[in-house]
Amino acid sequence: MADRYYVVREDILPEAIQKTIQVKEMLANGSATTVHEAVERAGLSRSAFYKYKDGVYALNEITQERIVTISMDLEHRAGVLSSVLGLIASQEGNVLTMNQSIPLQGFANVVLSVDVSQTAGDASELIEVLKRQSGVRKAAIIGRG
């Protein structure tokens, strides 16, 4: 069975869930540097925090994830795909899926799904960097989501 998600108003959540969110916020914004410090300040046990931490997220945390689908035509030369993947990693992009066609007339089409939520700029800046990469004939975002 697939995971199911719900949007629930905060005031009807159990206290342990609300405090878990507080602890995660303290850790994320730096107002607490350790789990021990954060759970103590929130009045939550460490075991309750660890029980719920991977299952509860603030809505803005979920919407910060950004996935783009990028299509590129790459020269059929050794190392081109590797250098493109290295470039994406150096920009803090995370390749989720990859599909490559068989090279025709010296070029192969590569379609990547990339999580760009950790990149410094927006996805269009990544595309501009990719277009300047040796061996990349064209690069474009073909989907977001």
What pLDDT is stored for residue 119 in this prediction? 82
Q: What does DSSP assign to residue 6?
A: -
Structural domain boundaries in the chain = 10-63, 67-144
Contact 21, 58 (CB under 8 A): yes
Query: pTM here?
Result: 0.56
| H-helix segments, 35-135 | 35-42, 46-52, 59-63, 80-90, 123-131
Architecture of domain 67-144: 2-Layer Sandwich (3.30)
Residue 8 has pLDDT above 60, yes or no: yes
Helix (H, G, I), strand (E, B) or coil at 141: strand
Q: For residue 62, name the pLDDT band (cuts at 50, 70, 90).
A: low
Whether residue 52 contacts residue 17, with contact meaning beta carbons closer than 8 Å, is answered with yes
